[in-house]
Structure 1
């Protein structure tokens, strides 16, 4: 039996409800793969699952760090791989669910084992001009140079740093993904007809506002100050602009809806481009039909 199941897809498509039902059917624990839900205090605007909605299913990777702390995909991968090692020892199945494709991919496919930054080397590279760095990168790794704009100094520096530290081409090393867990994953993605999805997004934003999203943003903005702006999460960024007097509340709400719709479109495109997901349309099949089909596939894998 497959021990790992992914439930992915765009925002507001219906991942949370289905993943909880599947987790109950599989006696599995849920691991969130959402780059906004790792942050504490950001609950309503990130559509974080409530304890009541969990229905007794254990959830992981929620409320991991404060929103002013940096949190990378590498940190997420290491934490989840460690968790999966523990759950494997207990014989537990898992449902990995969320809309952050990079988080999901880091667990199901692994990440490249790139070296940590070397402060001394990075300091020397930072002293050099873009042109000088780019020319050396072209000599050491033409393929990497071709894929990076010469003016993107940070990426040029990093690619060159990896070449110098490893003695290998960045273009090769960066594609050598290392999977850090023993879970085979069946990947499922959910979709809806676009008009329906956009209506759901608009309605969800209205529900969030009624549930106290503005008050949550005011509270967290007061707690964390200007640093909260760096997080730049949809729902919070727009309402901070309202609080700062830059736009009206009506405009902020409209911007949240529009930015959420655009984000959903990007998510849909990203998951479609992966090519290894089984797709189910919730406007053409019921949750029960999807569940039955997924569970049959899990059993036969």
Structure 2
């Protein structure tokens, strides 16, 4: 294990990794030992009422350790990465310098927005403008992007409609190319980044077990209530787990098939997360299956502080 030399104690400890690797469990134990609080970095935990299917920390867990950036948004609202960054940075700025804060989750962009200090254009989604641009077709939109922001066009694939529309949207609202408004301004405080990983078979078993537990805790009833309250077209109900259970409730597939699809799609999602986090050299990796995980992480933190 390579230990970098940092003379200052961390202001922020990141705990990241793929879904179902046990980030929340470790974070709660570590927070209790350090006397810390937890800042969530999960793009679905910000929404109220989406609890079981997102593996949101329970009321009891949140009583053990204070959690922030959970249940801060209505399901009908949209919390952008810029919104998240504003709220997280505000919490970090007003918190005491000691003990460190724990930033915990698997949403790569949320974590990057804080750790790297991403400069994000403050432009809310413009639905009317987007619909007008979509009507032009992706081919013509991309041609426009090449003219107004060639630097952005070089980084965006010609078939990537989402990023093309976002770049055009930012340009038409601000009058400046999105490429000029991006960049990074990393914070000046020390950050330790801890990643949890485990072998594919072990992770698959964890995902299978967690999916079964969600069903036992009333996941089907949660989705049913959300559909009744907000309508089945709610965008959050198209996300992992909720979409599959919604198909079951519609009578399109059996519950067993819904569980199998949830496991499959969660495994695919975890693979994408691993790819994202593996590209970050600053992360120190730990075996999520280790029986001494808490002690190993605690030792690592103290070792780096003492150098």
TM-score normalised over the length of structure 2: 0.85
Answering whether residue 82 of structure 2 is matched by residue 74 of structure 1, we say: yes
- What do the CA deviations read for 1:208-237 (whole angstroms, capped 9, x no partner)? 111111111112221111243544221211
Where does the alignment leave 5 or more consecutive residues of structure 2 unmatched? 1-8
Residues 221 and 128 of structure 1: CA distance in aligned 2, closer, same or farther (over 3 Å): closer
- What do the CA deviations read for 1:19-52 (whole angstroms, capped 9, x no partner)? 1111122211101111111111111111111132
Match of 1:97 in 2: 104
TM-score normalised over the length of structure 1: 0.86
Residues 245 and 275 of structure 1: CA distance in aligned 2, closer, same or farther (over 3 Å): same
Q: CA deviation at 1:115?
A: 5.0
Match of 2:279 in 1: 273
2:238 to 232, 236, 242: 232
Q: In the aligned structure 2, how far is the partner of 1:103 from the partner of 1:78?
A: 11
Q: CA deviation at 1:14?
A: 1.1
Answering whether residue 114 of structure 2 is matched by residue 107 of structure 1, we say: yes
- What do the CA deviations read for 1:246-282 (whole angstroms, capped 9, x no partner)? 1111111111111111111111111001222111112
Where does the alignment leave 5 or more consecutive residues of structure 1 unmatched? none
Residues 251 and 85 of structure 1: CA distance in aligned 2, closer, same or farther (over 3 Å): same
Match of 2:167 in 1: 159
Q: In the aligned structure 2, how far is the partner of 1:280 from the partner of 1:154?
A: 35
Residues 113-128 of structure 1 aligned to structure 2 (within 5 Å): 113-116=120-123, 126=133
Contact 1:15 1:190 in 2 (8 A): yes
CA RMSD of aligned residues (A): 2.9
Q: In the aligned structure 2, how far is the partner of 1:227 from the partner of 1:30?
A: 32
Q: In the aligned structure 2, how far is the partner of 1:290 from the partner of 1:205?
A: 28
Contact 1:229 1:237 in 2 (8 A): no
- What do the CA deviations read for 1:114-142 (whole angstroms, capped 9, x no partner)? 253697x958x848676665445334433
Q: CA deviation at 1:162?
A: 4.5
1:30 to 38, 61, 68: 38
